[in-house]
Amino acid sequence: MRSFQPHLFVILGASGDLTSRKLAPALFHLMERHNELRCCHILGVARSDMSDAAFRDSVRDALHERHPEGSDLSAWCDDHVFYQSLGGGSGYDGLARRIASIEKECGLPGNRVFYLALPPKTFPGTIEALGQANLHETPGWARLVIEKPFGHDLTSAHALNDLVHRYFSESQIFRIDHYLGKETVQNLLVFRFGNALFESVWHRGQIERVDIQVHEDLGVETRAGYYDQSGALRDMVQNHITQLLSLVAMEAPARFDADSIRQEKIKVLESIVPLRPEDVLLGQYAAGEVDGEPVRAYREETGVPDGSTTETFVRLRMEIANWRWRGVPFTLETGKRMPEKRTRIAIRFQPAPVSLFRPYEDTCNVRPNILEITLQPDEGFNLHFDVKQPRMPLRLTPRRLRFRYDEVFGDLPEAYETLLGDVIQGDQTLFVHADEVINSWRLYTPVLEASLPVHPYAPGSTGPNSAS
């Protein structure tokens, strides 16, 4: 276990929603659980003109809003939280001077985290500015955290990788995907490789199909400006769902460390058969009713251009052409305005080769065993199987073995709390490697360029009719 070393956590874009909603609460929860992490100092950076005191108050307000019971870290803010404006002409040279001043004043060794809590279009300019100001050159360590999406297509992903690598090595780069911080996602590796019962049947000889679904019951809400430039394929499939796919399908790593796990995930992505148009179904939610209330069509949402063909639903069928998975279909599905908010992975096992219950076909409908891994809203596992009902005639009924994290362990840490702790410790296991990004974009860019038809579907349904 790596230690929490004294450092300066620099949040670029600190006046935005991400800082108050996720980053500040996550950092403070870490400090409450790990007293040695109070060696952390936070520097908020943005264009807004704001004093240290005003930024500290905004951080306290964010914490109080989400945790009214309060925190004993309130007084800690006065000596550990700072703010620097990029306005007024000082820019990144002024930021470099402020960082040097804080590190000297607080006796810090030069360890720095730079977190880009910014719109994706500003990533290149910000990374270039950090490099030009030599902020990556420090007597300690420097780490760069980049929110998804990492690029808009294959060409832009290559360009962004080249730019980042001009100033930071791959070992310093933390491409963050908050799905990988969920306890159930992390437990996939333990579940598979720590339990011989499941690993022994985790292959094409015993598994009939794998379904990965990320459903949202809401529409685009206030994100239309971003979403219409992205769509469901870029927003969810290229990153979140593909990461889940690689964890489900990967081989056992040589060691339980970041490099070994990343190598196996990359092998999965390199083994996926190129997608064909007939493997892809796109949809866009139309107007309708949900729970008796009218809802607008996607094209009627505020900020969506007239006639937009941006997809809000994607269903992909793909095959992994390697020894373990050849011939097993993987379906990846995501959509907005679905019947419920749910993220799950369903492993459907092969049926029994011969039915023993032909004389009782009316009452003995043998169902396949299904392992259901739920990531949200109720993180846990269900294993579905058939049992005999008591008495005669012979009758089968489906039942399940059920496990829920919160029932056993109580409240789970937020994904950002887990991931920020890993950043500070320098553990890249749950972060995305450059080669993963490139291989993912290489897989989906032909689909993005194919101009496939986008089918309407009713809100509250499971997608276009052909998705059934």
Q: How far is CA 444 from the centre of its chain?
A: 17
117 and 233 housed in the same domain = no
32 and 101 housed in the same domain = yes
125 and 255 housed in the same domain = no
The token pair at 35 is 């007293």
Q: Give the C-alpha separation, 222 to 13, whole Å.
A: 19
Provide the Cα torsion 449, 450, 455, 460; round to 10°.
-50
Please tell me the predicted confidence (pLDDT) of residue 467. 52
Q: Which of 147, 164, 195 is the last residue of a domain?
A: 147
Q: Is residue 340 part of a domain?
A: yes
33 and 82 housed in the same domain = yes
Q: How far is CA 358 from the centre of its chain?
A: 46
Please tell me the predicted confidence (pLDDT) of residue 2. 63
Burial class (CB in 10 A: 0-12, 13-18, 19+), 76: middle
Please tell me the predicted confidence (pLDDT) of residue 67. 64
41 and 125 housed in the same domain = yes
Using only C-alpha atoms, the chain has a radius of gyration, in whole angstroms, of 24
Please tell me the predicted confidence (pLDDT) of residue 389. 75
Burial class (CB in 10 A: 0-12, 13-18, 19+), 445: middle
Taking residue 407's Cβ as centre, other Cβ atoms within 10 Å add up to 10
Q: Give the C-alpha separation, 200 to 193, whole Å.
A: 9
200 and 274 housed in the same domain = yes
> Can you state the angle between helices 258-271 and 242-249, rounded to 10 degrees?
100
Q: Is residue 341 part of a domain?
A: yes
What's the CATH code of the domain at 32?
A: 3.40.50.720
Question: Contact, 282 vs 314, CB < 8 A?
Answer: yes
Please tell me the predicted confidence (pLDDT) of residue 371. 94
Q: Is residue 275 part of a domain?
A: yes
Active site residues: 240
Provide the Cα torsion 248, 252, 255, 260; round to 10°.
-60
Strand-strand pairing, 396-404 and 293-295: unpaired
Taking residue 260's Cβ as centre, other Cβ atoms within 10 Å add up to 13
Structural domains of the chain, count: 2
231 and 309 housed in the same domain = yes
Q: Is residue 62 part of a domain?
A: yes
Indicate the pTM of the whole model: 0.90
214 and 97 housed in the same domain = no
Tens of each residue's pLDDT in the chain, 468 residues: 567 889 999 999 998 888 888 898 888 888 888 877 778 899 999 998 889 899 988 888 877 776 656 566 677 788 889 999 987 767 899 999 999 999 999 999 999 999 999 988 899 999 999 999 999 999 999 999 998 889 889 999 999 999 999 999 999 999 998 888 877 787 888 888 888 888 889 999 999 999 999 999 999 888 888 889 889 999 999 999 999 999 999 999 998 888 999 999 999 999 999 999 999 999 999 999 888 889 999 999 999 999 999 999 999 999 999 999 999 999 999 999 999 999 999 999 998 776 666 656 666 666 788 999 998 888 889 998 877 778 767 777 778 899 988 888 887 788 888 899 999 999 998 899 999 999 999 999 999 999 899 999 999 999 997 554
Please tell me the predicted confidence (pLDDT) of residue 105. 92
- Return the sign of the alpha-carbon dihedral for residues 423, 424, 429, 430: negative
Q: Is residue 162 part of a domain?
A: no
Burial class (CB in 10 A: 0-12, 13-18, 19+), 289: exposed
| Domain hosting residue 20, numbered range | 7-147
Q: Give the C-alpha separation, 373 to 342, whole Å.
A: 11
318 and 277 housed in the same domain = yes
Please tell me the predicted confidence (pLDDT) of residue 24. 87
What's the CATH code of the domain at 372?
A: 3.30.360.10
121 and 239 housed in the same domain = no
Q: Give the C-alpha separation, 309 to 287, whole Å.
A: 15
75 and 202 housed in the same domain = no
Q: Is residue 236 part of a domain?
A: yes
Strands (E), 291-410: 293-295, 313-319, 329-335, 342-349, 370-376, 380-388, 396-404
Q: Give the C-alpha separation, 6 to 257, whole Å.
A: 24
Query: Tens digit of pLDDT for each residue in 146-175?
Result: 988 898 899 999 999 999 999 999 999 999
Using the 8-state DSSP alphabet, how is residue 307 labeled? T
Cis amide prior to 398 (ω within 30 degrees)? no
140 and 194 housed in the same domain = no
Q: Is residue 174 part of a domain?
A: no
Q: Is residue 285 part of a domain?
A: yes
